[in-house]
Chain A
Amino acid sequence: MGKFRKKGSRSLPAVNTASLPDIVFMLLFFFMVTTVMRETSLKVENTTPKATEVSKLEKKSLVAYIYIGKPIKALQGAFGSAPRIQLNDAFKTIDDIPLFVEMEKDDRDEKERNKITWSLKVDVKTKMGIVTEVKQALRQVNALKLNYSANKTEVMTN
């Protein structure tokens, strides 16, 4: 015991932190490259339903989103609590869908315009009436590839 203690008073050398910035920068660049900025802020309540047979959407750049649901609590005073459609950053109506489809198509490469998937992010509590109307509007402008956004779950409950 004493054998070890005699050498004692030597203090531990400080851990060299010179490489810390490098490590952090590496992580930083990783996140900078992989990040996709949130494009829209949600103005509607949006809890997507659960399903077992979901598949992943392949190309993020070829997906356009349509949100449907009740306005969030903070906006219910101004917009009421009936389900609404949100396109990009604003509340819209059915009549704005053709223009929205046109704009989204214009944003894409000419070759890919017909490959856009229209992802419907609909709140679980919404009734089908408004969803059917949106679907019909999309049909009219030949936007046929739909995705009903859903979360993966293993078991279905009744």
Chain B
Amino acid sequence: MGKREVSEINAGSMADIAFLLLIFFLVTTTMDTDKGLIRKLPEIPPADQPPPPKIKQRNILEILVNANDQLLVGGEYMQVTELRERAKVFIRSEVGNPVMPEYKETEIPGLGVVEVSKQIISLQNDNGTSYEMYIKVQNELVAAYNELRNEFAQQKFNKPFTELAQKAGSSDAAKEKWRAVKAFYPQRISEAEPKKVGGPE
């Protein structure tokens, strides 16, 4: 028996195997990151907490959505497309107008003492409201705040709010400005408590 030459392994099919694996990972991979509207729920108040102080009617914009997805904003029937403008007018408020929200002198770092509108938006929906409508309303309200903040940041710091928000992570100066804009137009969206809370299970 002579020495047999060890034949080379044929690597021609290597590419095929690799392709197969590649296709498997291509199919199973999910690149999409989740996107959405980020909100915070209020904490459950402790049982012994005194009831919150009454808020003046003029400081509240009441938004009701019924089971037919119709909107009632501050007593007026409205389309969802009109909501953004209405909310902006309300949040901005107006000096000397008795039906618009009051102002409160507040000290904001970076801005000094300024007049901040005491606005609160109260949202109440029916159990039959569609989720699509609910998101639309939420979206319009967030958009109203964002637009106002953008305008204000542009006028005060010559930069849009979105840019400040991006830079807030890296620069302290931008962070202070970002905080100041947020404090000037605080996002106060309150969702009315549904009746089931605290009731029998």
The reply to whether the CB of B106 lies closer than 8 angstroms to some CB of chain A is no
Q: Which one of B31-39, B152-160, B176-184 is at the A interface? A: B31-39
- Cβ of B158 to closest chain A Cβ, rounded Å: 23
Q: Which residues of B contact A128 (CB under 8 A)?
A: 125-131, 134
Whether A158 and B81, one on each chain, are in contact in the complex, defined by CB atoms closer than 8 angstroms, is: yes
**Interface size bucket, B side?**
35 or more
**How far is B54's CA from A150's CA once the two chains are assembled, in angstroms?**
35
Whether B25 and A32, one on each chain, are in contact in the complex, defined by CB atoms closer than 8 angstroms, is: yes
**How far is B20's CA from A27's CA once the two chains are assembled, in angstroms?**
12
Q: Which residues of B contact A148 (CB under 8 A)?
A: 36-37, 39, 135, 138
Which residue of A21, A49, A60, A146 contacts B18 across the interface (Cβ within 8 Å)? A21
Whether B138 and A138, one on each chain, are in contact in the complex, defined by CB atoms closer than 8 angstroms, is: no
Q: Which residues of B contact A7 (CB under 8 A)?
A: none
Which residue of B40, B130, B194, B197 contacts A124 across the interface (Cβ within 8 Å)? B130
With CB as the reference atom, state the residue of chain B lying closest to A48. Answer: B36
Identify the B interface with A (CB < 8 A).
Answer: 11, 14-15, 18-19, 21-22, 25-26, 28-31, 33-44, 79-81, 125-132, 134-136, 138-140, 142-143, 146, 194, 196-197
Identify the A interface with B (CB < 8 A).
Answer: 17, 20-21, 24-25, 27-28, 31-32, 34-38, 48-49, 51-57, 60, 63, 65, 117, 119, 122-129, 131-133, 135-136, 138-140, 142, 144-152, 156, 158
List 7 A–B pairs whose Cβ atoms lie within 8 Å, in order of A's numbering.
Answer: A28-B21, A53-B139, A55-B38, A126-B130, A132-B194, A133-B196, A156-B139
